[in-house]
Structure formats: structure tokens, C-alpha cells
Structure 1
Amino acid sequence: MTLSSSGFLRIGDNDLEYRMIGPQPSEAPTIVMLHEGLGSAAMWGDFPDRLQASTGMGVFVYSRAGYGASTPVTLPRPLDYMTREALDVLPALLDAIGFQRGVLLGHSDGASIAAIYAGATGDHRLRGVVLIAPHFVVEDVSVASIAEIKTLYETTDLRAKLARWHRNVDNAFYGWNGAWLDPDFRRWDISDYLAYVRIPIAILQGEADQYGTIRQVEIAKEECYCPVDVTLIPRCGHSPHREATELTLATVSEFVRRILILHEGSGIRAA
């Protein structure tokens, strides 16, 4: 299929909003971007456009069900919602867009989904995975910060701010927040998937991340047999693409060019 620059894809029972920037997946390698737990296609800002300009690759951005303008989900979310997203939704989405080869780039929850997919499927179309502030296990700091943001959502203008990005803002917020604050979620652990990843991984982690610590990076180093490039960013919190945009853009662009352009000789221009 030929993707419009923006629109909706029907995946299962849900309509998922998307943006397609640059060449079609059938024409060039594609970076598929998976947003954070309170993110959406629009909340990436101009980072996808700048990434496309830097790499020459196609960039596909979408909002998962429950986020942005996509179909809302039934609450409460199941505690294995990220695994379901990786194994049930993402394969269908990649097939629907005609994904031929490229990279998954995920932030926070999106990074966890990307890691699960890479480890569980062995998809030969994937050449690498970029994980920004990933979660592989639940840490105390994560739960404390997520409990704090619940209070802010219910007592400040945070709800109004998020409503600019989500058509069903309560669905987006409580679907994510409720799962992470469920006591049973403390046992959530996807680190086993990492041992089965057979493609290069790049991890970008802010040293001042309020939702996770360097322990997440250490787990990847312990579990992975594949190459793992780590970039620790001083004085940076949970969103390196917003807080350290130039470094994040340069790091991601160099990684994808190295594994796709130089390795495959695809002829895509460098910035």
C-alpha cells in the first residue's frame, strides 16, 4: 500500500493515527517510532522530521490505541499490555505499512515494546533497535514518580496540557498510570527477551532520569549477546529527544547510518 503523509490505519479493532515522513517503506529503509507511556504521534514534535532529514530514511510514527487520536482502549489495561502490543499489534502494523527493512526506535514504554518484539520475533527485516530510556524491570524510582504524576494530573493543569495531545485524555493517562501503580505490576520483568535479540541495540539514557536508573542499562549489558551501544547523557531526564535534542539526533542518526547505510550500501545519503 502507499501511505499518505498522515491518516489512520485499521489494525484489528482499532484505528491508529499515523504520520509517514520521507520515502515509503517499499522504497527505503524505515525507522518506526514507538512513543512513551503518555506519548502520541504528535508528541514527538519535529524530532521525526529532523531524523528523516538527517538519515534520508523513511520515518513512520503512530499513536498506539488509547493515545492521541487513536481508538480508546478498555480500562483497566492488562498488566502485560506492552507484551500484547509487541506480539499482537506491532507485527500486524509492520505488515500493513509494507515494512521491508529498518529500525525500531522506542521511548520508555515504546522502548520496552521494541525490545520485546526484537527478542521474541527474530524478524529478519529488523537491522537494529534504538531504545531511549527503556524499562526492563520495575524500579522503586519509577513507581514513586508515577505515583507523583497521578497527584499532579488530578490537582494541577497537567490534565489540560495532556488533553492537547490526546483525544481521550483520561483513557490515555489512567490506562498507563493504573497499570504501573498496580501492586502486581512490581513483578513485571521483560529482561528475558534481551538474550534473544540478535541485532545491534543502541541505548540512550539520561543520567537524571526520574523514571529509571542506570540499572536498566546494566540489565541490557548482562542479558544481551548482541552489540549494545550505550550513550549516557549528563543532566538529562527521561526524554533525551526533548532535553538533549542535538546529541540524541546525532547519536541515533550515526547508529542507523552505520548499521543500514554503510553495512548494506543502500545509497541513502548521509546528512
Structure 2
Amino acid sequence: MTTAFSDQDRLIPIHTGAGSGRLYVKDWTPDTESAGTHPPILLLHDSLGCVDLWRSFPASLAAATARRVVAYDRLGFGRSDPHPGALPRDFVAAEAREVVPLLLDHLGIGDFVVCGHSVGGGMAVETAARFPDRCRALVTIAAQAFVEERTLDGIREAKQGFQDPAQLARLARYQGDKARWAVDAWTESWLSPAFADWTLDVPLSQVRCPVLALHGDRDEYGSAEHPARIAAGRGTVRLLPDTGHVPHRECEDEVVEAIRAFLSEA
């Protein structure tokens, strides 16, 4: 049986130390009695992502878990306003510190589950650490926990690929005239010598909720050491076979079922 749900999108004005602008937010709420009784799931996208690039995953996740699912475009991405400049060195922590609290307040969200893909997974860890009394569970998908040479090699290769105007044009279908900024923000932040010692070790030590770390065994941007470090002493690693860096598109059903089962016990 197909689950019916309502979806809604909006632009939310925010003001932070990094700048001001409007965030594009979309949520999917199942038309079930239990949808309002479970903490909603907040999705945090990757370095070149946006709401639209989650594709069918949010709706599938909402239907499977009978929970409201909320996704948003970070400033500078998708349908949100442009970012005013370069990303700060602590941009991963800054998202959890400056933006997520404003978003939760605006949407009237109390307790929640946070789920992030790639660098969004790092932001999800920072969010769980910052809200130990409200974050009920943490899910990471292909997240990085430290700067690994495999990650940098993948970024260097992607940076070279985006010199091709056709490849940048494909990204612009989702990022508009912000596409070049998004590519530069990603590649130059991670490849900067100032970012070389970045890790999630401190926020991970402050996470108090159950953790599920999903990772493809063929992820070109990070080895299995990343989910192992994220889940160590806190939760479960799930390595997905024959899967690369975007598990929620490559094997959506398996990812959704893993999260559903995890949340049913969290």
C-alpha cells in the first residue's frame, strides 16, 4: 500500500555571523496518525547537494518511517540565496552552531533525528553533539570523519572534471548561477592546508544518542575507517556492498530500510 503524504516548501530568512539570506526548505509529512508523535528527521546535504538532489529519498524515508522529513538547501546551494563569500574554516561546525538552531526554531521542531550525507554527515555529527537533549538519533551516509588522502584524491579528480563546461552545466541545473561557487567552496575548503587537521573527534565525543553510520564499500571519497570512527562505542556501522559515495541513490531501498529498522529500536 502506498503511503500518502503532504509536502510543503518555503523560503526562511536567516541571519548569522557568516551572512544573511533565505533558505529553501521542504518537508514531507505522512498522512498517518503517528507522524506527529515521532521526532522528525532533518536531512543535511553534501558539498554539491541540495534538496532536489535527494530526489525520491525524502519521500521514501517519510513513508517507511511514518515520520516528517525536513530537508533544506544551505546558503549558496540549490534554491537558497547565494552565500556572501568564502566558507569559514570551521564551516562544518558553523552550520550546526549558527544555522540549524534557527531552522529548528522557525519550524517549531523540538526533539529530532538528524541524517547527513558526506560533509552533511559531519554537520549531522556536530548537530547531535550540540543538541544532546533533543537529538534522538544520528544517521550518517558516506560521511567523512577526518581528512584522508583518498578523500583529497577524489576531490582533486572532481575539481579537474569541473573544468569541463558541460560538467559544470549539469551541476548548474540544480545550483543555477551558484554552481561555480559551490564547486570552489567544496574543493578549495578541503584542499586548503589549513583544513588538513580537521576531524570530528571532539563532537563525536559529545554525541549521546544512538548512531548508525552507513557507508559504501566502494566509496571513492572515504575508506571504511570513517564510519568505524563515527560509530565507535556509539552505534552501528553498515557497509553497503558494491556501493559508492551516494548510497541513497545507488541503493535507496536498502538505505531506507536500514534507517527504518534503526529508528524502530532507537
- Answer yes or no: same fold by TM over 0.5: yes
Q: Distance in 2 between matches of 1:104 and 1:252?
A: 11
Equivalent residues of 2:115, 2:138 under 8 A apart: yes
Q: Distance in 2 between matches of 1:207 and 1:4?
A: 33
Q: Distance in 2 between matches of 1:4 and 1:43?
A: 16
Q: Deviations over 1:104-148 (max 9, x none)?
A: 0100111000101212332x2211010001111000011111011
Q: Deviations over 1:222-250 (max 9, x none)?
A: 4xxx5311110111111110111111111
The counterpart of 2:12, out of the listed 6, 9, 13, is: 9
The counterpart of 1:256, out of the listed 242, 246, 263, is: 263
Cross-structure match for 1:101? 111
Residue correspondences, number: 253
The counterpart of 1:236, out of the listed 233, 243, 258, is: 243
Please tell me the residue identity of whatever aligns with 2:136. R
Equivalent residues of 1:34, 1:61 under 8 A apart: yes
Deviation at residue 156 of structure 1 after TM alignment: 5.1
SS at the partner of 2:162?
helix
Q: Distance in 2 between matches of 1:254 and 1:248?
A: 10
Equivalent residues of 1:26, 1:98 under 8 A apart: no
1:69 aligns with 2:75: no
CA RMSD in angstroms comes to: 1.8
Cross-structure match for 2:226? 216
The counterpart of 2:146, out of the listed 137, 145, 159, is: 137
RCO (CA 8 Å, sep 6+): is it higher in 1 or 2?
Answer: 1
Alignment map for 1:80-99 (pairs within 5 Å):
80-99=90-109
| Structure 2, unaligned runs of 5 or more | 1-5
> Kindly tell me: are residues 52 and 121 of structure 1, through their superposed partners in 2, closer, same or farther at Cα, counting changes over 3 Å?
closer
Please tell me the residue identity of whatever aligns with 1:127. R
Choose 69-78 or 41-50, whichever is displaced more.
69-78
Please tell me the residue identity of whatever aligns with 1:72. P
Please tell me the residue identity of whatever aligns with 1:139. E
Q: Distance in 2 between matches of 1:182 and 1:7?
A: 34
Deviation at residue 210 of structure 1 after TM alignment: 0.4
Q: Distance in 1 between matches of 2:37 and 2:97?
A: 25
SS at the partner of 2:175?
coil
> Kindly tell me: are residues 219 and 227 of structure 1, through their superposed partners in 2, closer, same or farther at Cα, counting changes over 3 Å?
closer
Cross-structure match for 2:25? 18
Alignment map for 1:21-40 (pairs within 5 Å):
21-22=28-29, 28-40=38-50
Deviation at residue 157 of structure 1 after TM alignment: 1.8
Equivalent residues of 2:147, 2:199 under 8 A apart: yes
Q: Deviations over 1:149-188 (max 9, x none)?
A: 0110112521011111112111222112210111221111
Cross-structure match for 2:175? 166
Deviation at residue 75 of structure 1 after TM alignment: 3.2
Please tell me the residue identity of whatever aligns with 1:233. L
Equivalent residues of 2:211, 2:231 under 8 A apart: no
Q: Deviations over 1:39-80 (max 9, x none)?
A: 001100011001111111101111010110111113321121
Q: Distance in 2 between matches of 1:102 and 1:166?
A: 28
Instruction: State the 4+ residue runs in structure 1 displaced beyond 3 angstroms.
Output: 23-28
Deviation at residue 202 of structure 1 after TM alignment: 0.4
Deviation at residue 193 of structure 1 after TM alignment: 1.1
Cross-structure match for 1:147? 156
Q: Distance in 1 between matches of 2:204 and 2:74?
A: 23
| Structure 1, unaligned runs of 5 or more | 260-271
Equivalent residues of 1:17, 1:69 under 8 A apart: yes
Choose 190-199 or 212-221, whichever is displaced more.
212-221
Q: Distance in 1 between matches of 2:225 and 2:265?
A: 27
Deviation at residue 101 of structure 1 after TM alignment: 2.1
Equivalent residues of 1:16, 1:65 under 8 A apart: yes
Deviation at residue 23 of structure 1 after TM alignment: 5.5
Q: Distance in 2 between matches of 1:129 and 1:219?
A: 14
SS at the partner of 1:164?
helix
- Give the % identical residues: 31
Choose 22-31 or 247-256, whichever is displaced more.
22-31
